[in-house]
A and B are shown apart, each in its own frame.
Chain A
Amino acid sequence: MTVAKGDDEATPGIELGVVASEFATVKVTLEQGGSGARLRVEDLRADAVRYLDALELESLVWAPEDWWRRLLDPSLHRWRDAGRGPEIESLPPG
């Protein structure tokens, strides 16, 4: 199963490489579409994908440290308690 946020339409891209540690393995691809560029970030361990546009990437740059710490809480998204919200928040709506 590929879990994708945004559209999952295949777009030719430049594979920038794999960013890996003992904790995560992510493939990063720069995709150039007719309307503009985006970054394709793929969790190779879980077969999940997220697309990031320029403004989202810029926001990451400016995100405060507390926000990043919050983001790394596994309960926030992938491992939420079932009763609290969607099991996998990054599933595309509907």
Chain B
Amino acid sequence: MTTTLGSSRPTPEGLRGLVQPDRVHGSLYTDPAIFAAELERIWYSTWVYVGHVSEIPRPKDYVRKTIGPQQIVMTRDTDGGVHLLQNRCAHRGNLVCEADRGHSGSFRCPYHGWTFSNTGDLLGAPFNQGYGGREGLKELGGLATVPRVGIYRGFVFGSLAAEGPTLEEHLGAAAERLDRLARLSPEGEVELTAGFVQHEVEANWKMLVENETDGYHPQFVHSSIFSISGSSIGDLYSDKSTAVTRALGGGHSENDLAPEFRRLGVPMGWAGTPESKIPDYVAQMRDVYGTETGDEIMINGSPHIMIFPNLFVAEIQLFSIQPLAVNRTVQHVTAIQFKGAPDLNRRLVTQCVGSVGPAGMLLADDAEMYERNQRGVEQLRPEWLDLRRGLGRETTDDDGYTIGTATDETSMRSMWSHYLTLMDPQPATAPQESTVEGAQA
């Protein structure tokens, strides 16, 4: 079968032919028309992770973020509300904010001086008699706001569609994994204050999403860092492992390594950090949660979850995936920090420098695979990518979720199934310009 969409707009029937239960077509990674449809139907329609409230702790703080190729400014107003603004002057469309982050309650476009509040309102324009004076300014627009802003556990999500499922509905079971992450803080809060590194790869964004909870590749792709560091993480991704790959619905998936961590039974064993290295943290966790619960939290560890379409929590680090073109994607990466845990946080930063820093070994391994994969799927034959690993041995867990072994492709199959529901022929929702109240952090 030859299924090539070329540059024409993909039809639902065409897409259904490309996404099958046990395989997907290579053009899904290479066709610009499909990428354009994905922006419209996924990135500009569903909830997308944007940033974290800890990145703008004070009123008037702002930080530049993205929703796919869209430039977003995340701000905090004087009442503590969080706003997501499109970084485009209402006058001539210039980028208003250039710095990655800053502290300013108002933004002045450098082109003609139009000035906006950090909630998007137009405060004024130079020489306003040209617009009929101050009264005339009321006819002019402010910065466009992201129609819906939702916050869960400090994680800020935005939706460019004015209507649709709530954030809670979107997150589903993934919300509990963010709860689990936050409980690793003695104060119950995650902080993203370590700064971000951006890794750009010449690959389609879905390759990254698929890879994040692919438990089949670590023993091959990451064998060098595992052997150099003496890490036993690789052993968690084998057919002998009790870890599972779980489809959480909504395109979300996880590698649940907690069964292995519980078998190990060592607090902070998941982080490869003995208690003796972080005595203050361990003592505080036991003090706050009680010894039994505190140890349980520290044994179960941090989640390894891909929250569709762009938030990946990999135990100690967080990735935000940003598609820019059909074959161009940026990963924004930072070390997760836990409020009230300075000794642990220092180690996490050091570990992340080694894994995903500019010279880190883990992400470099993956990046090489992404780009080789992209070049590979651009070849004409075979046309399909295989997804059948573990298809015949999937089971349902006590909560009703489909699970496979640690190395099965359960997560990919569920992602593609959800992908099809989003790419369905329902009328696409274009980005809106309505104004909503700032969400309270």
Contact = CB atoms under 8 A, between A and B. Distances in A.
Nearest to A78: B126
Given A73-B115, A73-B134, A74-B113, A23 B124 contact: no
Given A73-B124, A75-B124, A79-B113, A21 B103 contact: yes
A81 B104 contact: no
A22 B110 CA distance: 9
Interface string B68-109: 000000000010000000000000000001110011111110
B129 A83 contact: yes
B125 A22 contact: no
A69 B77 CA distance: 13
Given A65-B78, A69-B117, A72-B115, A22 B129 contact: no
Given A21-B104, A23-B104, A69-B117, A75 B127 contact: yes
A80 interface: yes
A81 B106 contact: no
A76 interface: yes
Contacts of B102: 21-22
A76 B113 CA distance: 13
Chain B at the A interface: SS class: mixed
A22 B134 contact: no
Query: Number of contact residues on A: which range applies?
Result: 10 to 19
B166 interface: no
Contacts of A23: 104, 106-108
B341 interface: no
B123 interface: yes
Nearest to A81: B129
A22 B117 contact: no
B279 to A, nearest CB: 38
Interface string A61-74: 00001001100111
A84 B124 CA distance: 16
Nearest to B103: A21
B115 A22 contact: no
A76 B115 CA distance: 12
Interface in A3-46: 21-24
Contacts of A65: 78
B104 A72 contact: no
A80 B126 CA distance: 7
Contacts of A75: 124-128, 134
A79 B107 contact: no
Given A69-B117, A73-B134, A74-B115, A22 B99 contact: yes
A73 to B, nearest CB: 3
A78 to B, nearest CB: 8
A72 B128 contact: no
A83 to B, nearest CB: 7
A76 B127 contact: no
A74 B121 CA distance: 14
B275 to A, nearest CB: 43
Contacts of B126: 74-75, 78-79
14 contacts: A21-B103, A22-B97, A22-B99, A22-B104, A23-B104, A65-B78, A72-B106, A73-B128, A74-B124, A75-B124, A76-B124, A79-B127, A81-B127, A84-B129
Given A69-B123, A81-B127, 10 more contacts: A21-B99, A22-B98, A69-B117, A72-B123, A72-B124, A74-B115, A75-B126, A75-B127, A78-B126, A83-B129
Interface of A: 21-24, 65, 68-69, 72-76, 78-81, 83-84
